[in-house]
Every structure is written in C-alpha cells, then in structure tokens.
C-alpha cells in the first residue's frame, strides 16, 4: 500500500474526507491530534513543531509530500 | 447607527499606551492613549466618522458594537456551544481506587477496589450505544493510580479503538498519574493506547515534594518521577505529547517555586511539551495551616504570574503566526471545567456516575449509575451540574471574565455550592494574557498615531 493510500485510510477511519485532493471536513482538534499520532505510528516518523499545523492537512498531496520527506530522514 | 464599546472589554493602561482585550474572541489591540480618548469622545458624540478604518478594525474585532447589541445573548450562545455540544464523548474512568502513594493531602481513601470485567464491558457497551451521536471519543484514565491497572487500559482501549474505527470516529486518551510507574516501557505501551496527554503532580523541589507526595512506605517519589520524565524527554521526540506538570502551591513551598521551575526546565532542556500548571492550594478553615485562605488566593496568583510568563518569554521574538498559535493553545486551556458539560461523565469502578473528580465521593457529585447493559440512569443532581450555570449570579453580569468563564469555570463552586465568585483564576489569567500577548503584533496589532488620519 503506498503512502497516499495509507494516509487516506487513516483519514477515513477518523471520519475525514477529501474531494479532488482537498480537505472537505471541518477538522476538530480531537481528529487532528488523533490523525497526527496515527500517522507517526504508521510511518514511524516524528512531525517537527513547524509541521503541526492545520494547513498541512488541506491538500492530500502536500501531506503525502511531507510524510514522504519525513520517512526519508 | 449608534455605536459603543463592548461592555466586557478589559482595558489596561501602561505609560502612554492602552491595550484592549475582547474576552469573547481573545482579540487585542494596542493604541496610544490619546487615540483611545478620541474614540471615546467620538462614540459619545453623534458625529463619529465610522467610515474610518480604525472603526472597521474595532468593529471586526467586536470591540465596538452597535448600541442595541446584547452581549449577554452572546454569552448564552457561547455557553450552549461549549457545554451542550456533541463534539466528543468525554469519559473519565476511575480504573481503581488503589494507589502506591500515600500523599499527605490526598482526598481519596485508596481502597483496593479495581474495575471488574463486568463494569469494563458495561462501559464498552455504553460507548457502542452512544458514539454515533458524537464526533469522537476521549477517555481520561484516572484513579487511584491508573497505571496499577495498565492491562485493563490495554484491554479497554482495543475495544474503544475498534468501536471508533467501525464508526469512523477519532479516539484519544489522557491520563492523570503520579508518574512513578511511567517508566519508558509503560509510556510506550500507553502511547500505543492513544494516550497523548498527561497530568503529573510535582510539588516543588525534592524536599518539599517528598514531604507531600511519598510512597506508602514513606519513601519520597521525586527522584523516580524525574527519572521517568527525563527518559521520555530524551527518547521520545513526538511533539504532539503534552505533560501538564501540576504544582500545588502552599505556604510551605511558595517561596521555592521559582527554583523548582528553573531546575525542571534546565533538566528537561526547556522541552515545550512539559507545561507548568501551578495551582494555589486553598481552604477556608484552619485545618491545615500551610493552605492559603480563600481571600489570599488572588495575591498568590499575581505573584505567580511572573513565573508563568516564562513559558512565553520569547513571545516578542517569535513570528506573528507562531504567537497566534500559542494564543490558541492558551485559549484551549482557558475553557470552563468539563464537570458542567453534557458530553462528560465520570465512571467509578462500581458504575456510579459522577461529574467532578475531586468531589466524587460527595453525594452532590454522584449523578446516577451505569447499568450492566450499558444504559444509564440519572438522578436529580445531574441537571444541577449541566444547567446550573444558566442560573448565574447577578454579579457575573458585567464581570469582564464572564465570556471566558461562562459562570462555569468551576461548576462545583458556582452551580452546586452557589459561591458568589469562583473566577479568581480566570481574572488573573486575562491579566497574564494581555501582559504576554500584547508584546507581539500577530496577537495584538498596534494602532499607530498617524494611521487612520489620527
């Protein structure tokens, strides 16, 4: 399963939806933190402070890019 | 259209400047005193030039409002939004009444009572029945010492996660622990269980802490807690975690709080995941001479505010965006106590439902019980907790803290015990917020003298 597919699965499990690659769900703080923890756990990465912002979630491609970069560190 | 200042603004003057703070939305502006004076005069006259930019900014920030605006209606709307929403099902689970500590001031009896499988299953059934009505599930593990029941946490978490996954809901957990069993292995086990936030009490430097918080055999607990926290700091780089380090301030340790904060911050290299939460320990009687009297509490908080500012000591140097993020974090910490919220319930090992952890053994906090089939039965106390703030004291109206406190800062004191005022902490926090966040233009834009034609 590639990164994007896995991220979308985690989003779906948390009731978060994307349409045409753009976030269409109002993200609650509980969802935000829960997803961050699930992403860190799944990809064995750590989000640095400057990545823990809602904007990272707005577009799925940007989020994939960030996760991909972190997995290579 | 006639306009006036919002009745609930806090106005703080310093030298030639005045800072305005709107508690409804945490908006701030800083202006030279003479501009504020000129706006005062224009609002009082009928010839205000409201097309000027300065008014638009103040209107947008809700600092100036139309004359017939009713702030109290907005307070009601905020109260309903905060206390009667379904954003998350928030359960506080007492896993056990047992504890490996025998703290000097503890309100619990520490009976060797653990939640049994029947009650665990009843809670799981309750969650399964109700989760659809909520945006997600938040569990707070509590005790006694919850880590004494670590296997139960893992068992229940597996069920909660499954229910959440099936219903496409988010799941998170927090824990109030004494920290002595939070070694790195247990910490990782809890991380797998979605525990991302901890409250741990450290009552000052080793000597004061050990005199208050010791193991059952009498041995002090400072060293083991610090060792555990240091290990987490060094080995886990996850930034999402948060550790609220609560320090109970008494007359015995008040003078050395500074020393403790400095020691702690140095040891943990100013790790911003660890946040100091000093709490003044007060009592209205002479039972314990180290506790402050109610009327002394404000003064102690004022002294403490200088210490609290250390969390934000670089606020004037960080970017405007970062200052706004930090203000959002403060806002989240300022929310009224969850013990008055309809989506919150505390569950004891025997299924008794209650609203307020520190007072769980008082009749007034016990609001019903959870049955084996996962249904609940509430008594007449419940309604007092969840609607009590609506019958607020008259004194609340006009108090500049009301839009934040919503008369629900402490439902136990305000709605149940009907104390006249229980908002010292909120009032002092507003002073701190102004003093800290007025230093950054991201959170407190400056109105300059030559702008807007002044």
Query: How far, in Å, CA of A47 to CA of A49, rounded?
Result: 7
A36 touches chain B (CB under 8 A): yes
Residue in B169, B172, B239 closest to A48 by CB = B239
The ipTM assigned to this model is 0.91
- Cβ burial A42-69 (10 Å sphere, 16+ → b, else e): ebebebeeebeeeebbeebeebbebbee
Asked if pLDDT for residue B122 goes beyond 90, the answer is yes
* Residue B19 CB partners (closer than 8 Å, separation 6+): B11, B12, B13, B28, B29, B30, B434, B438, B444
A17 touches chain B (CB under 8 A): no
Give the per-residue pLDDT at B310: 61
Q: Is the model more confident about B367 or about B248?
A: B367
pLDDT score, position B228: 98
pLDDT value at residue B162: 97
Residue B305, pLDDT score: 59
Which of A46-60, B100-114, B281-295 is predicted least confidently? B281-295
**By CB neighbour count within 10 A (0-12 exposed, 13-18 middle, 19+ buried), where does A22 fall?**
exposed
Q: What average pLDDT does the segment B81-99 reach?
A: 93
- How far B295 CA sits from the closest chain A CA (Å)? 37
- What would the two tokens of residue B162 be? 């499954």
Q: Which of A41-50, B41-50, B285-294 has the highest mean pLDDT?
A: A41-50
Spatial contact of B205 and B260, defined as CB atoms under 8 Å apart = yes
pLDDT at A68 over 80: yes
Residue B102 has pLDDT above 90, yes or no: yes
Residue B51 scores a pLDDT above 90: no
Would the pLDDT of B420 be above 70? no
> What is the per-residue pLDDT across A29-62, written as a single tens digit (0 to 9) for each?
889 999 999 999 999 999 987 788 778 889 999 9
Confidence class for position B227, pLDDT limits 50, 70, 90: very high
Report which of residues B207 and B56 the model is more confident about. B207
Structure tokens at B271: 């790790």
What sign results for the dihedral spanned by CA atoms B441, B446, B451, B452?
A: positive
Average pLDDT (B256-262) is 87
Q: What is the pLDDT of residue B252?
A: 82
Highest averaged pLDDT of the listed ranges B114-118, B294-298, B330-334:
B114-118
Q: Is residue B150 predicted with pLDDT exceeding 60?
A: yes
Q: Which of residues 47-66 of A touch B (CB under 8 A)?
A: 47-49, 52-53
Percent of chain B with pLDDT over 70: 89
B117-121 mean pLDDT: 98
Count other C-beta atoms under 10 Å from residue A24's C-beta.
Answer: 9
Q: A41 to chain B: nearest residue by CA?
A: B192
- What is the dihedral sign for C-alpha B137, B142, B147, B150? negative
Mean pLDDT score, B323-352: 87
Decide if pLDDT at B333 tops 90. no
Whether B431 contacts B305, CB under 8 Å: yes
B137 three-class SS? strand
pLDDT at B448: 75
B132 touches chain A (CB under 8 A): no
Q: Specify the pLDDT at position B56.
A: 84
Nearest 5°: the CA angle B441, A55, B62 is 45
In this prediction, residue B299 carries a pLDDT of 67
Q: Give the CA angle between residues B8, B411, B107 to the nearest 5°.
A: 135
A34 touches chain B (CB under 8 A): yes
Residue B96's Cβ-count burial label (10 Å; 0-12, 13-18, 19+) is buried
| pLDDT(B283) > 70 | no
Is the confidence at residue B110, as pLDDT, over 90?
A: no
CB spacing of B135 vs A30 below 8 angstroms:
yes
Contact of B133 with chain A, judged by CB distance below 8 Å, is answered with no
Residue of A34, A43, A55 for testing the chain B interface, max B β-carbons within 10 Å: A34
Least-confidence region, from B38-42, B50-54, B76-80, B138-142: B50-54
- CB within 8 Å: B168 and A12: yes
Check whether B410 has a pLDDT greater than 60.
yes
- Over residues B27-37, the mean pLDDT reads 92
Q: Kindly state the greatest CA–CA separation across chain B.
A: 76
Residues of A in contact with B191 (CB under 8 A): 37, 41
Confidence of residue B85 (pLDDT cuts 50, 70, 90): confident
| Alpha helix stretches (DSSP H) within B61-146 | 71-83, 117-130
Is the pLDDT at B314 greater than 80? The verdict is no
Predicted pLDDT at B335:
83
Tell if the CB–CB gap between A37 and B196 is shorter than 8 Å: yes
Kindly report the average pLDDT of chain B as a whole number.
Answer: 88
User: Bigger pLDDT: B291 or B56?
Assistant: B56
Alpha-carbon gap, residue B403 to B23, rounded angstroms:
6
How confident is the model at residue A21, as a pLDDT?
Answer: 93
List, in sequence order, every residue forming a beta bridge with B248; answer none if it has no partner: B279
B382: how many CB neighbours lie within 10 A of its CB?
19
What CA–CA distance (Å, rounded) separates B243 from B118? Answer: 32
The three-state DSSP-derived secondary structure of B330-352 is HHHHCCCCHHHCCCEEEECCCCE
The span from the CA of B194 to the CA of B174, in Å, is: 8
In this predicted structure, the answer to whether residue B287 has a pLDDT above a threshold of 70 is no
Dump pLDDT digits (tens) for B171-180: 999 999 999 9
3-state secondary structure (DSSP) of residue B436: helix
Q: For residue B293, what is the DSSP state? A: P
Asked if the model's pLDDT at residue B286 lies above 60, the reply is: no
Distance between CA B437 and CA B443 in Å, rounded? 6
* % of chain B with per-residue pLDDT over 90: 54
- A14 min Cα distance to partner chain B (Å): 5
Q: DSSP labels for B371-431?
A: -TTS-EEE-THHHHHHHGGGG--GGGTT-TTHHHHTT-S-HIIIIIS--S---HHHHHHHH
Question: Cβ of B237 and A36 within 8 Å?
Answer: no
Q: What is the pTM of this model?
A: 0.85
Are A28 and B87 a contacting pair at CB < 8 A?
yes
The residues near B399 (Cβ < 8 Å, ≥ 6 apart) are B405, B423, B427
Q: Report the C-alpha gap between B20 and B393 in whole angstroms.
A: 26
In the predicted model, is pLDDT for residue B216 greater than 60? Answer: yes
DSSP B220: B
For residue B239, pLDDT over 90 is answered with no
Q: Are B130 and B169 in contact (CB under 8 A)?
A: no
Rounded Cα–Cα distance for residues B1 and B372 (Å) = 61
- The CA distance from B118 to B104, in Å, is 33
């Amino acid at each position: 399963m590639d990164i994007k597919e896995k991220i979308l699965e985690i989003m779906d499990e948390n009731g978060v939806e994307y349409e045409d690659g753009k976030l269409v769900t109002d993200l609650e703080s509980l969802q935000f933190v829960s997803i961050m923890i699930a992403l860190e756990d799944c990809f064995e990465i750590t989000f640095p402070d400057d990545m823990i912002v809602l904007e990272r979630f707005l577009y799925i491609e940007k989020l994939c890019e960030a996760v991909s970069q972190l997995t290579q560190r | 259209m006639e306009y006036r200042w919002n009745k609930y603004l806090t106005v703080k003057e310093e030298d030639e400047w005045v800072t305005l703070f709107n508690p409804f939305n945490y908006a701030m502006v800083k202006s030279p005193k003479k501009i504020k004076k000129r706006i005062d005069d224009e609002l009082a006259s009928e010839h205000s030039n409201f097309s000027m930019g300065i008014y638009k900014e103040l209107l947008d920030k809700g600092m100036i409002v139309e004359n017939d605006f009713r702030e109290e209606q907005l307070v009601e709307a905020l109260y309903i939004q905060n206390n009667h929403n379904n954003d998350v099902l928030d359960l506080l689970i007492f896993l056990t009444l047992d504890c490996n500590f025998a703290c000097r001031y503890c309100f619990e009896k520490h009976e060797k009572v653990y939640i049994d499988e029947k009650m665990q299953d009843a809670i799981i059934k309750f969650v399964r029945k109700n989760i659809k009505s909520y945006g997600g599930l938040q569990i707070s593990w509590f005790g006694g010492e919850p880590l004494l029941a670590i296997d139960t946490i893992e068992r229940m978490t597996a069920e909660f996660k499954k229910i959440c996954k099936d219903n496409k809901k988010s799941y998170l957990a927090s824990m109030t622990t004494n920290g002595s069993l939070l070694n790195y292995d247990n910490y990782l086990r809890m991380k797998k269980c979605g525990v991302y936030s901890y409250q741990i009490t450290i009552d000052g430097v080793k000597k004061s802490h050990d005199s208050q918080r010791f193991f059952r055999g009498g041995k002090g607990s400072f060293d083991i807690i610090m060792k555990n926290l240091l290990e987490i700091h060094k080995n886990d780089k996850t930034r999402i975690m948060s550790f609220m380090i609560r320090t109970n301030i008494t007359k015995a340790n008040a003078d050395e709080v500074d020393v403790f904060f400095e020691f702690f911050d140095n040891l943990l290299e100013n790790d911003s995941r660890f946040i100091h939460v000093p709490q003044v320990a007060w009592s209205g009687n002479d039972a314990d001479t180290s506790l402050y009297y109610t009327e002394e509490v404000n003064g102690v908080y004022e002294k403490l505010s200088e210490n609290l500012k250390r969390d934000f000591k670089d606020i004037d140097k960080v970017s405007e965006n970062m200052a706004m993020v930090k203000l959002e974090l403060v806002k989240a910490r300022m929310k009224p106590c969850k013990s008055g919220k309809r989506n919150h319930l505390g569950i004891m090992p025997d299924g008794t439902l209650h609203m307020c952890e520190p007072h769980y053994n008082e009749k007034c906090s016990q609001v019903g019980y959870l049955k084996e089939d996962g249904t609940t039965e509430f008594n007449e106390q419940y309604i007092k907790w969840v609607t009590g703030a609506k019958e607020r004291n008259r004194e609340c109206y006009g108090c500049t803290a009301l839009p934040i406190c919503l008369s629900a800062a402490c439902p136990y004191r305000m709605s149940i015990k009907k104390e006249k005022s229980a908002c010292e902490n909120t009032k002092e926090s507003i002073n701190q917020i102004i003093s800290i966040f007025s230093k950054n233009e991201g959170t407190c834009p400056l109105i300059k003298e030559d702008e807007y034609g002044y």
